[in-house]
Amino acid sequence: MGQDYYAVLGLGRGASTADIQRAYRRLALRTHPLKCREPGAQERFRQLAEAYDVLGDPARKGVYDRFGEEGLKGGIPLGHGDEAAWTAGYVFHNNPDKVFKEFFGGDNPFAEFVAEDGSEVVVPFGGRRGLGVLKRDPPVVRDLHLSLEDLFHGCTKKIKISRRVMNEDGQTSTIRDKILTIDVQPGWRQGTRITFEKEGDQGPNVIPADITFVVQEKPHARFRRAADDLTYVATIPLGKALVGCAVEVRTLDGRLLNIPINDVVHPKYCKVVPGEGMPLLKDPTRRGDLLIRFDICFPKRLPADKKTLLKSALLS
């Protein structure tokens, strides 16, 4: 059996909007974690927030009254037949403080509701929404996963977000999709932040949050990146490490480099190829370096005649 949001607020099914606001105000002030230290108060505070989030919104309340919690959270069909579209299910954002602050306003929820003598100040039902108190939600931060190729060439990413948008009545809201476009610049690094101002959820007397995307580099099959340099690990046999060889490297832009290695390759040896790394953000015509390191394969066994030849060559 689903939750009874009316019971959570201590109300009957015929409760009016004013009854719902009055009940949430009274119970939320009583159970707020800053005021109530009793066991279970925090969960009770969360339940009250979810109940008000549903019953305080006419659209969600209408779905809940008709279809219950299962219909509210699972979605309901918009038409008839097997192919009918369904509404998106409701998901509580699990942030009771957000509901509380949107209702009352202010970071200190009790400072504005207590008089100098300690008595409680009567606030109009619906909280301080009508008093012009604006509250800004904290930024919404999301990861933007990009390949090294994306960061090498630059690209355009289009990301669909779903956000709550206020309706014309100024009290109810609707979930709507929006496409955000990010123009990735060549040379961006891990941790680069792209911010879209005020693209978060809208609400009465709420300044929408900024949405910030943070670049995260996807692992690459051939290269590791450090700042503007790329590192490539070449696997070569011991013989080539001693006498020299050529290493082929396929670059991020598809070219095949043939790098001659004329030095003796020891375990810490590194071949630097200038200008074959990542583009510099301030000047994409310039690039960092390509660093070639080596994984030297030693033979598992050597026949006696080859050991004799090696002794003669290396120990003479």
For residues 107-127, average pLDDT = 44
Q: How far apart are CA 120 and CA 112, in angstroms?
A: 9
Q: Assess whether 141 and 126 both reside in one domain.
A: no
For residues 128-152, average pLDDT = 76
Which pLDDT band, with edges at 50, 70 and 90, does 117 fall under? Answer: very low
pLDDT at 132 over 50: no
Domain region containing 189? 137-217
Q: Assess whether 193 and 250 both reside in one domain.
A: no
Q: Assess whether 44 and 75 both reside in one domain.
A: yes
Which pLDDT band, with edges at 50, 70 and 90, does 86 fall under? Answer: low
Q: Assess whether 111 and 162 both reside in one domain.
A: no
Per-residue pLDDT, 128: 43
Mean pLDDT of the chain: 83
Of 108, 94, 111, nearest in space to 42 by CA: 94
Find the range with the poorest average confidence among 140-149, 200-209, 295-304: 200-209
pLDDT at 225 over 70: yes
> Who contacts 80 (Cβ-Cβ below 8 Å, separation ≥6)?
none
> Who contacts 35 (Cβ-Cβ below 8 Å, separation ≥6)?
29, 110
Per-residue pLDDT, 222: 93
Q: Assess whether 247 and 159 both reside in one domain.
A: no
pLDDT at 223 over 80: yes
For the domain that residue 81 is a member of, what is the CATH number? Answer: 1.10.287.110
Find the range with the poorest average confidence among 15-29, 71-85, 134-148, 152-166: 71-85
For residues 16-42, average pLDDT = 86
Which pLDDT band, with edges at 50, 70 and 90, does 113 fall under? Answer: very low
Q: Assess whether 26 and 127 both reside in one domain.
A: yes
Find the range with the poorest average confidence among 34-48, 63-77, 186-200: 63-77
For residues 106-123, average pLDDT = 46
Looking at per-residue pLDDT, the higher value among 142 and 3 belongs to 142
φ and ψ at residue 229, rounded to 5 degrees: -100, 150
Q: Assess whether 129 and 141 both reside in one domain.
A: no
- Domain-terminating residue out of 112, 133, 154: 133
- Domain-terminating residue out of 196, 217, 238: 217
Per-residue pLDDT, 38: 83
Query: What's the number of domains the chain is made of?
Result: 3
For residues 248-268, average pLDDT = 92
Q: Assess whether 54 and 14 both reside in one domain.
A: yes
Predicted TM-score (pTM) of the model is 0.54
- Domain-terminating residue out of 202, 217, 232: 217
For residues 246-257, average pLDDT = 93
Structure tokens at 18: 């004013």
pLDDT over 90 percentage in the chain: 39
